[in-house]
Structure 1
Amino acid sequence: MSADDGQASCVQASHVHEEHAVFWAVRGVASDLEVAGIQRSLAPGQGLFVPAGTPHGASRASTTALVVLFVDPGAWVEAPTQVASVVVNAALRELLVHLAEFAMPKEQRLRAQRVCLDLIADEPHVSLALPVPRDPRIEVIARAILSDPADDRSLEDWAYLTSASARTVVRAFRAETGMTFAEWRSCARMSAAVELLGEGIPVGVVARRVGYATASAFSAAFHRMMGRPPHRFLPERGVDVR
């Protein structure tokens, strides 16, 4: 088991590792991870298990909050068999940082590593997968919404602006993302919301920034999609992991 900040071992271009990888955010929100062509956003406490051999790309920027933990497949026979959301709670983060920064006898380190694996728990509906379309007919729409999630133009409006038919836009979104336009926009809004909440921005302000008229409507939609209320994605207090 080894931890790395992604600077050397992971690159933005798609690649694979012989080891399993567990990605997590050391601070704030990390949204610069792509696994099997799907963008992922990880808020504090969230992790993503990526099995050995799975194509992925991760930011090498010095500002990234993303950290990756590598695990020898032979050392973790209980590991998930596919990409899965996991919990990386404060206790696990502190222990991983301690293992990365301090030397200790081999047997003690092995015991601590086993504790780390035991602390990683399954947590469905915790990380947000956002497929970004590549089809040029709708990529411009997707990029515009990603830059301004509060943009409330209808599918027909977007079709007119891009000189395409509404039917073409509908089919392209379904083919490229597996979602309807409305479903994809909701996912994009929640992805933006997770990032804003991770920066400590109040729920009411986040609601307006991602296109909801009221905090209650946003909270209901967020809880329905993410499985947790928005306030659970605000930064943890009293935990300082560097």
Structure 2
Amino acid sequence: MRNVQATLADQLPGRIVATSNEYPSHHRIARHKHRRSQLLYAAHGIMVVGTETGRWIVPPERAAWVPSGMAHDVHVLAQISTRSIYIEPEVSAALPRDCRVIGVSPLMRQLLLETLDLPLQSESGSGSRPDLIYSLIVHEIERAPVLPLDIPFPADPRLTKRCRAYLAHPSPHDSIDDWCADLAMSRRTFTRRFRAETGTSFAQWCRQAAIFAALPRLAAGEAITALALDLGYESASAFTTMFKRLIGMPPSRYLAVSNPMREVAVPMRGTMRGLDG
């Protein structure tokens, strides 16, 4: 279905509902939640999904999974075309229970594109083509690989506040000792707590945070070399290596994706604008 706002999607009948939207660069969708779980697929373009516990980058041809009832917001970094699948929790106990970015198989990608003009599931009988497509999508979500495209936030409110401030303005001059002094923690306590609550080291977290901060600056046209040095990388090649490892493409490819005028846009069968995710 096209041009369906999130609040209205919750009211649509059926255990599974599919919608499709397009958003311009820099569009923001305020924090909200759905009764159903949501698969938010980026056919092309790049977005960031945020919750109280972290942020997730969703590159082209990847998808974010948001469990039912989880409040989240969306920041579109580059003009994006999405497909959303809303699934009642009781459809499958094997569906993920945490927010994540997942890989999208060629089969699931084609199934998601096919949902654009499907009728509501409640309007098609069991065993019908729409019912089979939705069932296959659910199976593909269950087996989809989790991609390491998240910036987790600690549970400790003081640590979370410090992390959010760094993510907004990452600095190569910040050190672990600076954070320890700000938070009145010993280095040992800080290191142990940070890893326990984020699942990663302080240094690795800062490197990933810098990449997150770089995305809108790259899309705005900043030079890769200058940006890399500003974020504390020794060279553009070191920045490119980390960028590709996290995003799945080099900065040059990201620049092409974030500016549709630099490459041929993916043809779409319909346009939907100004909708909630």
The alignment's TM-score, normalised by the length of structure 1, stands at 0.66
Q: Provide the C-alpha distance between the structure 2 equivalents of 1:198 and 1:116, rounded to a whole number of angstroms.
A: 32
Please state whether the residue corresponding to 1:70 is helix, strand or coil. Answer: strand
1:86 aligns to what?
103
Superposed displacement of residue 168, structure 1: 3.7
Residue 144 (1) aligns with residue 160 (2): no
Summarize deviations over 1:24-67 as a string: whole Å, max 9, x none: 346633223338x343221222103356x5x5222288999676
Distance in 2 separating the partners of 1:230 and 1:5: 34
Matching residue of 1:158 = 179
Alpha-carbon distance in 2 for matches of 1:62, 1:191: 13
Contact 2:168/2:213 (CA < 8 Å) preserved in 1? no
Relative to 1, partners in 2 of residues 1:73 and 1:134: Cα closer, same or farther, differing over 3 Å?
A: closer
Q: Aligned pair 1:238/2:265, yes or no?
A: yes
Tell me, which stretches of 5 or more residues in structure 2 are unaligned?
11-28, 272-277
Residues 27-176 of structure 1 aligned to structure 2 (within 5 Å): 28-34=45-51, 37-50=53-66, 56-59=70-73, 68-71=84-87, 80=95, 83=98, 85-87=102-104, 94-99=113-118, 107=128, 109-110=130-131, 113=134, 124=145, 126=147, 128-176=149-197
Distance between the aligned counterparts of 2:189 and 2:55, measured in 1?
A: 24
Provide the residue aligned with 2:17 in structure 1: none
Equivalent AA in structure 1 for residue 84 of structure 2: V
Q: CA deviation at 1:152?
A: 3.1
CA change 1:213–1:174 in 2 (3 A) is same
User: Following the alignment from structure 2 to structure 1, what is the Cα–Cα distance between the partners of residues 221 and 140?
Assistant: 26
Quick one: distance in 1 between partners of 2:105 and 2:215?
Answer: 16
Contact 2:45 2:60 in 1 (8 A): yes
Match of 2:41 among 24, 47, 55: 24
C-alpha displacement of 1:162:
4.4
The residue number in structure 1 matching 2:249 is: 229
The answer (yes or no) to whether the contact 1:41–1:194 under 8 Å persists in 2 is no
The aligned amino acid for 1:69 is: I
Distance between the aligned counterparts of 1:199 and 1:124, measured in 2? 31
1:12 aligns with one of 31, 38, 41: 31
Deviation, 1:165, is 3.3
Structure 1 residues 161 and 60, CA gap change in structure 2 (3 angstroms): closer
| Aligned length, in residue pairs | 233
Unaligned runs of 5+ in 1: none
Query: Residue 83 of structure 2 contacts residue 112 of structure 2 at CA under 8 Å; is this kept in 1?
Result: no
Q: Give the residue type in structure 2 aligned to 1:178.
A: G
Contact 2:47 2:75 in 1 (8 A): no
Give 2:207's aligned residue: 186
CA contact (8 A) 1:132 1:177 kept: yes
Across the aligned residues of Structure 1 and Structure 2, the Cα RMSD in angstroms comes to 4.6
Distance 2:199 2:72 in 1: 23
1:40/1:62 CA distance change after superposition, 3 Å: closer
* 1:30–1:195 contact (8 Å) kept in structure 2: no
CA contact (8 A) 2:2 2:116 kept: no
Q: Which moved more, 1:91-100 or 1:125-134?
A: 91-100
Identity of aligned residues (%): 25
